Amino acid sequence: TRARSAIAQHSNATVGDLMTRDVVSISPDEPISTAAELLVMHDVSLLPVVDRDQLAGVVNRHDVLAALA
């Protein structure tokens, strides 16, 4: 498949080569509407939730849309 071909071409690549370094995150105390704004504004599908410089979890577009419905 096309995906396997792409993987084979980049078999030496690491996750670090692919990851986003300028991560947009959110605090667990922020309103859900703020998460929705950040997701749209930064065109991302996932926000890390950071509490006191520690990863507490993640929230994705589906989570936010379900909460707003």
Per-residue pLDDT of the chain (69 residues; tens, 9 = 90+): 666 666 667 678 788 888 888 999 999 999 999 999 999 999 999 999 999 999 999 999 999 999 998
Q: What pLDDT was estimated at residue 17?
A: 81
Answer whether 47's CB lies under 8 Å from 39's CB: yes
DSSP notation for 11-67:
TT--HHHHS-SS---B-TTS-HHHHHHHHHHTT-SEEEEEETTEEEEEEEHHHHHHH
| pLDDT, position 59 | 97
pLDDT at residue 6 in the model:
65
| Angle value at C-alpha 12, between 6 and 14, nearest 5 degrees | 95
Predicted pLDDT of residue 19: 83
Q: 7 by DSSP, 3-state: which?
A: helix
